[in-house]
Amino acid sequence: MSHKQVVLVTGAGRGIGRAIVRALASPERFIYIHYSTSEDSAKALSEELAQEGKPSRTIQADLSDSEAAKALISEIVEESGRLDILVNNAGLTRDQLTVRMSDEDYDAVIQVNQKAQFILMREAAKIMMRKRWGRIISISSIVGLKGNAGQINYAASKAAVIAMGKSLAQELATRNVTVNAVAPGFIETDMTAVLAEDVREHYLATIPMRRLGKAEDVAAAVAFLAGEEANYITGQTISVDGGMNL
Ligand code: NAP
């Protein structure tokens, strides 16, 4: 397989991940469309890209399993011999007020949103360092910057993503590997579709632009960070939130 760049987007069967794949896809890039349970939509996305002459394939892993996260990168590197761009997008919520939150709900969110991201970053860094080029982009959240009632687990994981990225950015800077984060506000996806109408109204009132964002808004920031134009930007977090983090 010889392509200019090999890309992995996690959680790419739906939502923001799917929009990121669409924004990054090109005839010169081979994209691994990772999914856990959304096999049909991941495969449909890969077929759509094939019609446009943009190469990709789907790849499955449950990121609640650390070994599966590690195997995800080794499968790609064995097959392609490289990994140039890693977009750590897969994530989940298990919301509950702190006094009622179980250890299981805390651990489940930390495992996928934080530990799996660490493993994917570490394994990707090994190959990117050797190639002297790479881009690691993690999807954090406004909640990682400001906290949110009922999301102590999610807030911890999303703040960790930023802190881990800043640490790795310092380790990899001389190797021409950049590590950045994107922090979306409230974006129209399955994750926010479950919110009750009054909660949604409450959030809308906190957004200066008075509307939810689109997955494509987040994808555009990721595409910028993945490109050559961003080659002197590392350890940063771009907020895509209609002004929530002002
Ligand atoms: P979504 O529609 O709920 O999609 C979640 C994605 O994560 C799916 O692709 C899912 O894969 C994957 N995922 C969940 N558990 C997984 C597991 N155990 N192993 C592997 N993959 C798993 O969410 P979204 O809104 O697109 O969110 C994408 C990212 O943006 C997340 O990190 C989220 O925290 C972040 N974010 C979202 C918002 C928002 O308002 N929507 C705001 C800030 C940050 P399968 O479907 O294949 O199972």
CATH number at residue 62: 3.40.50.720
Q: How far apart are CA 165 and CA 162, in angstroms?
A: 5
Residues 150 and 97 sit within 8 Å (Cβ to Cβ) = yes
Among protein residues, the one with the nearest Cα to ligand 1's atom 22 is: 90
Q: Residue 30 falls within a domain, yes or no?
A: yes
Number of domains in the chain: 1
Ligand 1: distance of its center to the CA of 137 in Å? 15
Residues 91 and 112 sit within 8 Å (Cβ to Cβ) = yes
Pocket flag, ligand 1, residue 242 (CB < 6 Å): no
Residues 141 and 203 sit within 8 Å (Cβ to Cβ) = no
Q: Residue 125 falls within a domain, yes or no?
A: yes
Could you list the residue range(s) of the whole structural domain that residue 12 is in?
5-188+214-239
Per-residue pLDDT 10s for the chain (246 aa) are: 456 899 999 999 999 999 999 999 999 999 999 999 999 999 999 999 999 999 999 999 999 999 999 999 999 999 999 999 999 999 999 999 999 999 999 999 999 999 999 999 999 999 999 999 999 999 999 999 999 999 999 999 999 999 999 999 999 999 999 999 999 999 999 888 888 899 889 889 999 999 999 999 999 999 999 999 999 999 999 999 999 999
Residues 129 and 177 sit within 8 Å (Cβ to Cβ) = yes
Ligand 1: distance of its center to the CA of 174 in Å? 32
pLDDT digits (tens, 9 = 90+) for 11-65: 999 999 999 999 999 999 999 999 999 999 999 999 999 999 999 999 999 999 9
Beta-strand (E) ranges in the chain? Answer: 5-9, 29-35, 56-60, 85-88, 134-139, 177-184, 237-240
Pocket flag, ligand 1, residue 165 (CB < 6 Å): no
- Could you tell me how far CA 39 lies from the centroid of its own chain? 18
* Beta carbons within 10 angstroms of residue 97's beta carbon: 10
Q: Residue 156 falls within a domain, yes or no?
A: yes
Pairing of strands 29-35, 237-240: unpaired
Pocket flag, ligand 1, residue 207 (CB < 6 Å): no
Q: How far apart are CA 15 and CA 227, in angstroms?
A: 22
Q: Residue 207 falls within a domain, yes or no?
A: no
Pocket flag, ligand 1, residue 29 (CB < 6 Å): no
Ligand 1: distance of its center to the CA of 172 in Å? 27
Q: Residue 49 falls within a domain, yes or no?
A: yes
Ligand 1: distance of its center to the CA of 35 in Å? 10
The answer for residues whose C-beta is within 8 angstroms of residue 239's C-beta and 6 or more apart is 142, 145, 183, 184, 185, 245
Q: Residue 199 falls within a domain, yes or no?
A: no
Q: Residue 97 falls within a domain, yes or no?
A: yes
Pocket flag, ligand 1, residue 237 (CB < 6 Å): no
User: Please, what is the end-to-end C-alpha distance for the chain in angstroms?
Assistant: 45
Mutation choice for ligand 1 from 189, 195, 217, CB with most ligand atoms inside 8 A:
189
Residues 112 and 162 sit within 8 Å (Cβ to Cβ) = no
Residues 135 and 177 sit within 8 Å (Cβ to Cβ) = yes
Among protein residues, the one with the nearest Cα to ligand 1's atom 27 is: 16
Residues belonging to the active site: 154
- Could you tell me how far CA 189 lies from the centroid of its own chain? 14
Q: Residue 52 falls within a domain, yes or no?
A: yes
Nearest in space to 91 (alpha carbons), one of 31, 149, 28, 144: 144
- For 96, the 3-state DSSP assignment is strand
